[in-house]
A and B are shown apart, each in its own frame.
Chain A
């Protein structure tokens, strides 16, 4: 069995993450979908690191985690303030991104 199964798994997880972003309307869940996509990428990176025998993939994974942590902090703060202002956790309620 080749290591490529991990890559396939990562692809599936990434697709499901994208679906979560597309289909769920609870802001928090959408956010978790984004996290899932990041994690799927991390899995691919770890696998690549093992395939190529160097540590770049692992380093990148760590960096992605840090970026994700920063993103979570800001993102959740935004969700909080939107909820405070609108009493709603639905993505569709914050639809001011139009004319």
Chain B
């Protein structure tokens, strides 16, 4: 006979965060958000420099096409998403996220396609050259990347 499973234990917990935050004082939500945004803005130039270096590395990998590069490309795309996710640069973020999706899908399906990576690298380069601004041309570019991910990249 198997032992009956332990019944769930449910506890009311008041965390130390709740106690500390309940103390008098503090700043308004708007003020806190503004301060945090200013803090992020102070890193902007450095982050854009890092993003540019990573896109250059991506382009270099596309030119060399080393074997078994899937995990390297995914790590690079993921790092781009990680950093771009802190700044207000939606076109760049969307393109980097799309590269993550494409790489993830291709790795899972074992259908690696360098052209699918190259089109993303090209888009990221153009977006950076356009100071990460949006616009009709960038929208078309992003729609193209979306289509690549949606239809699943052909092997190549």
Q: Do A and B come from one complex?
A: no
**A contacts, CB < 8 Å to B:** none
